[in-house]
């Protein structure tokens, strides 16, 4: 189905063309002059316009430009008189895709109609296929993940901010990249900022840049990441850790699409898409007044909530097979698959580290596999921390590390980003250490 508009001041012709288009299976509207045509173009989605060149209130060719401004994706075919060969060429130059010389026969009209509508359909299909490339990398078929993919497609068509929420390792970054990649326009660069690992004053100049003289050692101007991402996507990871002092600046960026550098006096206009991700419960942060509610609503225009792996049913097996397939190729190992017990265990396991945990486990198993079948024994017997030493003065290095991590976690109220920063390791490393040392936090 497609929508066609016929613009001609001759009522008979308008009427008979409209009938014909309707019979061919398209929806059709008519306009008797330029004013009506422009009004219609403003208010509806049109695939194709047949436009008479000699309208009473406008010269057809100048109308092409105005219509194209209002609805750039609409195809326009000019209807010209027999003596208008030159105008026909001009109209192509002005943006029409074709012209038909009056008086024309029905067969010619029909074939033009179908040819254009068909090629639009193919174009749309190709576009959809291109958009699905980004989605292909997201494995998952459960209801929740299907909805996630639909939302990604929808989000790729509009520029509004997206907030991706989910436990660690559920694929937030993967989804952010898919939103960026599947934009049908030229999508520009993808710039990632980890709000959890930069200090408040560093993050401000990193994000917004600075002007010469902002600090004593600021020798020249510096472009911030926001400016770098201009025309593309700014991915704000761990947004829950964005220092409260910077939140108004981000709010301003979203609301007014302008930024001001540190020490700067003028506003800079930017155009970018913002995707934020968090594994924290932002609503709790709002209650604790460490996250601004107005900023949350501004970011949460398109929410994408990633379910934990334990709630994705048989997707865990799909993912496991996908990782096995890619890893055995990468590591050049001959492996037939998972034992039935391994599959049962995967469906039962609670996957605290979600997809990342699954991937790491399979990688380990593939490396050490000798039988050609993966048993996933590692799932049942997590490596136990070593027993404490008899002499309380002397502890193993690992025990020492465990105690120190616990201490820092206590100090930071179990804020893992802060703890990781203090310990000088990444969050992922901290998480892995906590897992292998069986450190639990509330
Ligand atoms: N649905 C999926 N299909 C295929 N791979 C996935 C999927 N979800 C996640 N992954 C993979 O799992 C790993 C973790 O994903 P990602 O880094 O996007 O998670 P995250 O939610 O950002 O984690 P964190 O909170 O720790 O930053 C990556 O290697 C990613 O490619
Ligand atoms: Mg991440």
Is the beta carbon of 355 within 6 A of some atom in ligand 1? Answer: yes
433-438: long-range contacts at Cβ-Cβ below 8 A with a sequence spacing of 24 or more? 433/401, 433/402, 433/405, 434/405, 435/352, 435/353, 435/382, 436/382, 436/383, 436/385, 437/385, 437/398, 437/401, 437/402, 437/405, 438/382, 438/384, 438/385
Q: How far is the CA of 247 from the centre of ligand 2 (A)?
A: 20
User: What pTM value is reported for the model?
Assistant: 0.61
Q: Length of the chain in residues, anyone?
A: 442
What's the confidence (pLDDT) of residue 205?
81
CB distance 318 to ligand 1 below 6 Å: no
Q: Is the CB of 192 under 6 A from ligand 1?
A: no
How far, in whole angstroms, is CA 431 from its chain's centroid?
26
Closest protein CA for atom 29 of ligand 1: 356
Q: If you take atom 16 of ligand 1, which residue's CA is the nearest one? A: 171
Residues in a beta bridge with 115: none
How far is CA 9 from its chain centroid? 46
The string of pLDDT tens digits covering residues 233-250 is 999 999 998 888 889 988
Q: Nearest ligand to the C-alpha of residue 354?
A: 1
Task: Answer whether 222 contacts ligand 1 (Cβ < 6 A).
Answer: no
Output the CA 176–ligand 2 centroid distance in Å.
9
Higher pLDDT, 81 or 10: 10
State both tokens at 222.
């510096």
Over residues 52-111, the pLDDT tens digits come to 988 888 877 889 988 988 888 899 999 887 666 677 778 888 888 888 888 888 888 998
CA of 362 to the centre of ligand 1 (A): 14
Q: What is the pLDDT of residues 274-312, one digit of tens each?
A: 999 998 788 888 988 889 999 999 999 999 999 999 999
Q: Which two tokens stand for residue 188?
A: 């520009």
CB 385 within 8 A of CB 437: yes
pLDDT for the residue numbered 124? 66
CB of 402 closer than 6 angstroms to any ligand 1 atom? no
Question: Does the beta carbon of 356 sit less than 6 angstroms from any atom of ligand 1?
Answer: yes
**Mean pLDDT, the chain, integer:** 85
pLDDT tens, residue by residue, 129-176 = 555 557 888 999 999 999 999 999 888 888 899 999 999 999 999 999
Domains annotated for the chain, with CATH where assigned, are 3-126 (3.40.50.2300), 138-305 (3.40.50.300), 309-379 (1.10.8.60)
pLDDT of residue 345: 93
Q: H helices within 232-369, ranges in order?
A: 247-256, 282-287, 293-299, 315-330, 340-348, 354-368
Query: Which one, of 98, 103, 152, lies nearest residue 120 by Cα?
Result: 98
Tell me the CA–centroid distance for residue 297 and ligand 2, in Å: 21
Distance between CA atoms of 263 and 209, rounded to whole angstroms? 9
- Do β-strands 373-374 and 337-338 pair in parallel, antiparallel, or remain unpaired? parallel
Nearest CA to ligand 1 atom 8: 171
* pLDDT surpasses 50 at 383: no
Q: Report CA(374)–ligand 2 centroid distance (Å).
A: 28
* Cβ < 5 A residues, ion ligand 2: 172-173
């Amino acid at each position: 189905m497609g929508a066609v508009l016929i613009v001609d001041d001759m009522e008979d012709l308008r009427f008979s063309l409209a009938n014909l288009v309707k019979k061919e299976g398209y929806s059709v509207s008519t306009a008797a002059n330029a004013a009506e045509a422009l009004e219609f173009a403003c208010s509806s989605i049109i695939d194709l316009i047949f436009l008479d060149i000699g309208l009473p209130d406008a010269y057809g060719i100048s109308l092409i430009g105005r219509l194209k401004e209002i609805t750039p994706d609409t195809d326009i075919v000019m209807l010209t008189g027999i003596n208008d060969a030159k105008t026909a060429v001009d109209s192509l130059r002005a943006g029409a895709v074709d012209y038909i010389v009056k008086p024309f026969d029905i067969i010619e009209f029909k074939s033009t109609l179908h040819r254009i509508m068909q090629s639009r359909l193919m174009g749309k299909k190709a576009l959809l296929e291109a958009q699905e490339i980004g989605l292909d990398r997201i494995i998952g078929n459960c209801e929740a993940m299907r909805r996630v993919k639909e939302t990604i497609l929808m989000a790729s068509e509009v520029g509004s901010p997206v907030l991706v929420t989910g436990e660690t390792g559920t694929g937030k970054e993967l989804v952010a990249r898919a939103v960026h990649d599947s934009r049908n326009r030229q999508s520009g660069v993808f710039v990632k900022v980890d709000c959890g690992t930069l200090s408040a004053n560093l993050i401000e100049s990193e994000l917004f840049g600075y002007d010469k003289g902002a600090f004593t050692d600021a020798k020249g101007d510096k472009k911030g990441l926001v400016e770098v991402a201009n025309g593309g996507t700014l991915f704000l990871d761990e947004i829950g850790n964005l220092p409260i002092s910077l939140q108004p600046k981000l709010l301003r960026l979203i609301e007014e699409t302008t930024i001001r550098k540190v020490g700067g006096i003028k506003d800079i206009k930017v155009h970018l898409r913002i995707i934020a991700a968090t594994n924290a419960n932002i609503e709790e942060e709002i209650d604790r007044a460490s996250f601004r509610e107005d900023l949350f609503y501004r970011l949460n225009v398109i929410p994408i909530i990633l379910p934990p792996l334990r709630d994705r049913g048989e997707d865990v097996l799909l993912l496991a097979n996908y990782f096995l397939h890619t890893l055995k190729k990468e590591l050049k190992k001959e492996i037939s698959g998972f034992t039935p017990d391994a599959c049962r265990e995967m469906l039962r396991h609670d996957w605290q580290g979600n997809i990342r945990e699954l991937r790491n486990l399979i990688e380990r198993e593939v490396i050490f596999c000798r039988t050609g079948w993966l048993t996933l024994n590692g799932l049942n017997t997590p490596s136990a921390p070593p027993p404490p030493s008899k002499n309380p003065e002397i502890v193993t290095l690992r025990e020492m590390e465990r105690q120190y991590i616990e201490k820092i976690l206590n100090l930071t109220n179990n804020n893992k980003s802060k703890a990781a920063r203090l310990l000088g390791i990444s969050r992922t490393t901290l998480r892995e250490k906590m897992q292998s040392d069986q450190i639990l936090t509330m």
